[in-house]
Amino acid sequence: MKKEEVELNLYPTKSKCKIIFFTKNGRKIKILSNIEKKITLDNRIFIEKTFRDKYIEELSNCIINEGLKYGKCKSVFINIQESDIILKNIKIDSAIKKKDIIKAVDIEIKEFCSRTFNDYFVDYKILDINEEDTEIQVILFPKKYVDLFSELCDRIGIENRAMHTNVNLLERLLKIKGEDIMENMIKMEKEHTSTGEVMEMGVIEFRDDDLVVSVYAKQKVKYCCVIKKEEFTDELADKIFEKCVGIIGLGNTNADDLQIYHRLCKLCNIDFEEDVEFVQDFKNVSPEEFFQITAKKLN
């Protein structure tokens, strides 16, 4: 019998890093180990070598020590979503030829990011096209994260590596499960009928100090931002989720989060029971925690 290949998922935030070892068999994902390493990811790491080296050493030691239980890891992928990852929707003239879109996007980007443009990797995707305008979503991903985690991957000795924003992974997940969720939400919201109106769905990922707030429509994440919990007011929530037929909650909520959870009464959950299999003492872990893995690994 072929031995299952072990893979590694890292989810770093400002205050911690989730370290998850898992195997995949078809559409089943088996969580082998789930560690929450308390480790600070702040600007000093990108400025001072001493802090950078300490971060890499602490995290790599934790990963290597845990990985010894499972043997050689096949691959590692890192999920990251922080406030300095810029996601901006822009519009360009639809008359612009496809081969010239990149040039047009570059011109638009440099108008709001001229000083730091060289510090980012730039990606874009087309959201919508009409006779007059083409709506394009631009993602600016700081090169500092790629440099830092490439060095970490070198230290732990894994060649096969990838880095994703939560936007990309969430979009993949909702393409798989979004239609069923949307149908259920529309049933809950009787006033929404088949009028041809584009239905939107909200997503809130609860983290320790902040929220990753997204809006999904037409099989794409059209809006995403990181918001501190104390800044997430009713007025802001109403503005972001104005057209949403429902809101999905991801991540584990604490006592303070429940106030937000109950306030937004259209919350639903994604069912991972058919996709995630827990072993040993991990039955008490919420499947929503692992949506990054599920989104990345499901066919």
Closest Cα to residue 221, out of 201, 199, 251? 201
- 230 and 107 part of one domain: no
Q: Are residues 127 and 189 in the same domain?
A: no
CATH number at residue 230: 3.30.420.40
* Count of domains for the chain: 3
Which residue from 243, 248, 254 is spatially nearest to 266, judged by alpha carbons?
248
Residues 135 and 150 in one domain: no
φ/ψ of residue 165, rounded to 5: -85, 155
The per-residue pLDDT for range 206-252, each reduced to its tens digit, is 888 888 899 988 888 888 888 988 898 889 998 999 888 888 877 76
> How far is C-alpha 218 from the geometric centre of its chain's CA atoms?
18
Q: Taking the CB of residue 55, how many other CB atoms lie within 10 A of it?
A: 22
Q: Which of 130-139, 254-263, 264-273 has the lowest mean pLDDT?
A: 264-273
Do 159 and 171 fall into the same domain? no
CA 190 to chain centre: 30
Range of the domain at 130: 86-142
| Exposed e or buried b per residue across 233-257, where buried means at least 16 C-beta atoms within 10 angstroms of its C-beta | eeeebeebbeebbbbbbbbebeeeb
CATH number of the domain within which 135 lies: 3.30.1490.300
* 254 and 205 share one domain: yes
Question: Is 128 a domain residue?
Answer: yes
pLDDT digits (tens, 9 = 90+) for 129-164: 888 888 888 888 899 999 999 999 999 999 998 888
264 Cβ contact partners less than 8 Å away, ≥ 6 residues apart: 202, 204, 237, 241, 247
Kindly state whether residues 155 and 75 are assigned to the same domain.
Answer: yes
